[in-house]
A and B are shown apart, each in its own frame.
Chain A
Amino acid sequence: DTGVSQDPRHKITKRGQNVTFRCDPISEHNRLYWYRQTLGQGPEFLTYFQNEAQLEKSRLLSDRFSAERPKGSFSTLEIQRTEQGDSAMYLCASSLKGGAEAFFGQGTRLTVV
């Protein structure tokens, strides 16, 4: 297993377009997290899944954002009607339930022009 994988690594989109990112966690990990990191800031928690259930969503996750983990394996994060303020690095992490270490992917850098 090669760790947490995110696709694409980079995405440039025009304002108003929809984008979707994918995250493949470490295979035996049942928890999956999404974070957003803007320039010069630490990552901010967006949401997390335990298996296929989305158990918590941050207030940062507006109605334009939706995340899914349909079979408890990979996850997608969709942003509808993108805005320039959505430009950021989107990080995915996974861990075992009850595990103290979260493993991060390399992130998807989104640029909205």
Chain B
Amino acid sequence: AQSVTQLDSQVPVFEEAPVELRCNYSSSVSVYLFWYVQYPNQGLQLLLKYLSGSTLVESINGFEAEFNKSQTSFHLRKPSVHISDTAEYFCAVSVGFGTQGGKLIFGQGTELSVKP
């Protein structure tokens, strides 16, 4: 079975500071990795994903995440955060999109709070 652990439930940070949201996963098979963002009373939006290839993936709004197979991690980073980045961030894994169905296993979430 797969599981996801987000190591920080809350991360307060000042605007323009760097941030890292940590995610570790457990799986006996290869997985696909995702970060989703959720704004208050909204659904989830995909931020970025790792399927294969380069272990460093980037989003259009400046976030990046690096897949580290040996450490089973997929930490999310941003060099300079904005007030508008305040949201809940979820790390998720999936074992596949073919016969396995593509269901997602989520971590508990990290609340990022950006202060002026």
Contact = CB atoms under 8 A, between A and B. Distances in A.
A102 B4 CA distance: 18
A41 interface: yes
Contacts of A40: 9, 108-109
Contacts of A106: 41-43
A28 interface: no
Contacts of B44: 43, 91, 93, 104
A65 interface: no
Interface string A95-111: 10111111111110100
A55 B100 CA distance: 10
B62 interface: no
A42 B42 contact: no
Nearest to B98: A98
Contacts of A35: 104
A103 to B, nearest CB: 8
Interface string A25-52: 0000001010100001111110010100
Q: What's the interface size class on B, roughly?
A: 20 to 34
B45 interface: yes
B42 to A, nearest CB: 6
Contacts of B45: 104
A109 B107 CA distance: 20
Contact of A50 (B4, B41, B101, B109): B101
Contact of A42 (B32, B46, B102, B107): B107
A48 B103 contact: yes
Contacts of B42: 106-107
A91 B109 CA distance: 16
B74 interface: no
A68 B22 CA distance: 37
7 contacts: A40-B108, A42-B90, A42-B109, A43-B90, A44-B106, A48-B102, A100-B32
Interface of A: 4, 6, 31, 33, 35, 40-45, 48, 50, 55-56, 91, 93, 95, 97-107, 109
Interface of B: 4, 6, 9, 32, 36, 41-46, 49, 51, 90, 92, 94, 97-98, 101-109
